[in-house]
Structure 1
Amino acid sequence: MQKIITTIILSLGILTGLSAQVSLENGDITIYGGSGGSPYSAFGIGDLLPTGFGLQEAFSGTGIGMANAYFVNNTNPASLTSIERPISMIFDLGLNFGMTQTRAEESAPYQPDGSLTNFNLWFRISRLWSSNLGLQAYSKVGYNIVDERYNPSAGGDYSMVYTGKGGVNRIYWGNAWQITPHLSVGGNLNLLFGTIEDAQTFLSDNSLSGFTIKSENHLLGVGWDAGLQYRIPMGKKNLVLGLIYANPINLSSEKTSQLLAVQDTLEQVSIWDEAFRIPKKLGVGFSFKASERLNLAADYTVQPWSEGRLNEDLSLYNTRAFSVGVEFIPNYDKYYGYYQQTLVRAGFRVQDAYLEVDGRQAKQWQASLGIGLPFNRYRNHLNLTYTYMQRGTSSLLETRHQLGLNISLRDVWFVRTKIR
């Protein structure tokens, strides 16, 4: 665990322009995620968040090969053409509420958090062309690390407190076209922006010797991603194959740092540009409609983080992720459509982290369980999802319980009413 904390503290020193030596022989470290965040989010732009919402959230992010007729799938832009007529507009709003525990040698309290995760507006432009506009959280930063020490030459007890908050948001515009009855292609144009705030505070028994270094990092970048889906009808069954690719994204960074003394008005401000690089991403997946009551899906993605850059002295590792999802209609009624049914969903995901923990690449996994409830004469859906997540090892283990809420509102635009 000491090696892990050393890596985190050294990285925090690098990110704020400090050179520091860390000795763990005569100190105690308290480490936890601030505002329900994670100490791992101290690196780069923080924890990267999944793009899927609603249905995909209950599938633990699975969706590359899913072509649902009533729910927007944000995992693969090619799926935007799968919404059935006469639906011409779908609005999605997502929120989540969670409790995160970061545990080192001993137990730690759970930290609560909640946030608005996404807005999304899907609309049909023509019979073969659909579009999508949205805003969602792309990454999240939240940590609080207290490093307590004793040094006689420094006058006794002292501590270093490292905190961080903020993240990156994503505005996207997606379009998809149905090329043939079985083939659809699509893409997103993405604008990434956000602010990450971090601080290092030195506190000692001598109140005159304290100081704080505060930094604000303003990030901006543009990228794109694309996908395709191919549908293979099998009578009453249906198989969909999917593929996605996201190009590397370079984020420009303008960082401002301030040195604040406890008993002094002196401020030292420096501004410089940095660059972060998020590597490309490639994924494949499929979904299989086994019956009117049962849908299955699976995804596999890779991301070569060795080609990325978060800061110069941090080693990054290539990542892989595998996920599966299932949807079941427990009380299927053939006289009602799919969107009028109560839907039960579950998912599982396992993936590598791009960081090293205890000398090996860290792992994380999650399991999800969700339900979709129709309301307002079955035109709309309320999707509830519970997710349990774990990351790290016994030396530094994160556990999270999360409740996701998604409201999906459907409407029909530009349809004339016929009077007989």
Structure 2
Amino acid sequence: MPRFTHVLIAGTLILLHYSAQAQNIFSSPYSVYGIGMINNRTSSMNRSMGGVGIGVQDDFNLNPLNPASYGAISSPITHIYEVGLYVESNKYQMSTRSDSKSTGGLSNINYWFKFSPWWSASAGLAPFSSVGYKINTTRELGAASNVDYTYDGSGNINQLYLGNSFNIVKNLSLGVNISYLFGSITKNETIDLSNLSSVLTYENKIVARKMDIDFGLQYRIKIKNRALVLGVVADDGLTLRGTQKSALYDQNADTLTNDTGDKLKYKLPASAGFGIGLHSKRSILAADLKFENWSSANFSDQELTFQDTWKVAVGYLYKGNPNAESYWGLASLRTGFYVQNYQLKIDGTNLPLWGMSAGVSLPVFDGKSAINLTYSYDRLGTTTNNLIRQNSQKIMIDVVIRDLWGIKRKFD
């Protein structure tokens, strides 16, 4: 690999470390629950195709959604390096008012390489969950009325992963991702007891130091000049720990009492998914169905109603013409759509969740690498029963650098 690529990787790792500490100043009011908004480990290809990938094999792009796909990338590609950034605009609507916030940062870093013709690997960093909110409200407390409450939270849990893909027999591959989760999330609940000249604060802190593992399998069926790829993924879930502390302060911020509090447990669900992809020379049409057993989840600090979730996603990729003489003939186009039921029911109300995306991959460096541009729109929640509907628009840019041997692609 060229020296500049090694420098770029090292620099991005440093930037990602500091960005992980600072980003998600504001993400979603729904991140008040549990460990916040949970994210999938993805690449730019997955995000621009509506989040599909379980049954996708591409010889030019990474697909972390199913580790069995890593072996589909073949010679003459020897290395792939990908880093992504995003800018997000969120609008929050209630039945009587609305608000808007923006955020942004690094979305992922992925690096693919090959040990042998039958063993491929991928490593990277990506967000696992994020918390960012500040909510002010007035409630009754005992005989007192109009007591001011403030809820605020921030932080991230990130995942460092190493994935491996093995070609077991012809057309059958097995993959495994081993992830290390790290980071912290802090949530505070502050009660302003003005009549007692004091402030009561509860602090909930989650510190993640946890290993996780997930598996994938893919089988390729040749159909004349096309191929049908069937894929499955599975994860048995995990448990994270936390602590809850409480403190009573006077108006001068002097501590009156301090309690170390209870140990907390966050049990996250097992999941399984099935995907199918129809592959031709220049296109991929794919669909995923994923199940998450959220009814078995448990957060010891919050009384929440969880429900099992089903996610359906459909995506399309046009690869472009590798022999095109013009620049735009080499460009790759992607689009996709997903819908699922959210894992929480609040006050007996379901929270709809759906989204769509579209993107273009523009070749650079004589066609060896690419700049990927993606736009996505997501909607979560409802204004029914005084709840919040969150509309999110995101623009993402991913830089993909590939080392290839023996190929020179031409364009004007």
Q: Same fold (TM over 0.5)?
A: yes
Q: Does 1:84 align with 2:74?
A: yes
Deviation (angstroms), 1:85: 0.6
Indicate if the aligned counterparts of 2:266 and 2:298 stay in contact, CA closer than 8 A.
yes
Q: Does 1:410 align with 2:402?
A: yes
Q: Corresponding residue for 1:317?
A: 307
CA distance in 1, matches of 2:187, 2:161: 27
Assess, with a 3 A threshold, how the Cα gap between structure 1 residues 91 and 327 changes in structure 2: closer, same or farther: same
Name the amino acid aligned to 2:157. V
Q: Corresponding residue for 1:194?
A: 183
CA distance in 1, matches of 2:228, 2:36: 36
Q: Corresponding residue for 1:173?
A: 162
Name the amino acid aligned to 2:82. D
Q: Corresponding residue for 2:20?
A: none
1:342 paired residue among 322, 331, 355 = 331
Deviation (angstroms), 1:297: 0.6
Q: Does 1:116 align with 2:106?
A: yes
Question: For 1:266, what is the secondary structure of its paired residue?
Answer: strand
| Structure 1 residues 15-414: aligned runs within 5 Å | 35-149=25-139, 154=144, 157-203=146-192, 208-263=197-252, 264-290=254-280, 292-311=281-300, 313-329=303-319, 332=321, 334-335=323-324, 341-395=330-384, 396-412=388-404
Indicate if the aligned counterparts of 2:183 and 2:208 stay in contact, CA closer than 8 A.
yes
Assess, with a 3 A threshold, how the Cα gap between structure 1 residues 336 and 169 changes in structure 2: closer, same or farther: farther
Name the amino acid aligned to 1:95. L
Question: For 1:41, what is the secondary structure of its paired residue?
Answer: helix
Q: Report the identity percentage.
A: 30
CA distance in 1, matches of 2:362, 2:146: 57
Assess, with a 3 A threshold, how the Cα gap between structure 1 residues 151 and 275 changes in structure 2: closer, same or farther: closer
Deviation (angstroms), 1:215: 3.5
Indicate if the aligned counterparts of 2:205 and 2:242 stay in contact, CA closer than 8 A.
no
CA displacement, residues 26-57 of structure 1 (integer Å, 9 cap, x when unaligned)? xxxxxxxx833112111111111122120000
Q: What is the TM-score with the length of structure 2 in the denominator?
A: 0.85
Indicate if the aligned counterparts of 2:201 and 2:246 stay in contact, CA closer than 8 A.
no
Question: For 2:25, what is the secondary structure of its paired residue?
Answer: helix
Indicate if the aligned counterparts of 1:66 and 1:240 stay in contact, CA closer than 8 A.
yes
CA distance in 2, matches of 1:152, 1:247: 43
Question: For 2:255, what is the secondary structure of its paired residue?
Answer: coil
Assess, with a 3 A threshold, how the Cα gap between structure 1 residues 294 and 267 changes in structure 2: closer, same or farther: same
CA distance in 2, matches of 1:244, 1:204: 51
Assess, with a 3 A threshold, how the Cα gap between structure 1 residues 133 and 336 changes in structure 2: closer, same or farther: farther
Name the amino acid aligned to 2:81. F
Assess, with a 3 A threshold, how the Cα gap between structure 1 residues 81 and 202 changes in structure 2: closer, same or farther: same
Name the amino acid aligned to 1:405. I
Cα-Cα RMSD = 2.6
CA displacement, residues 257-279 of structure 1 (integer Å, 9 cap, x when unaligned)? 44433223335140543221111
Gaps (5+ residues) in structure 2? 1-23, 407-412
CA distance in 1, matches of 2:270, 2:327: 36
CA displacement, residues 144-186 of structure 1 (integer Å, 9 cap, x when unaligned)? 21112588964x7541111111121111111111122311111
Deviation (angstroms), 1:340: 8.2
Indicate if the aligned counterparts of 1:36 and 1:99 stay in contact, CA closer than 8 A.
no
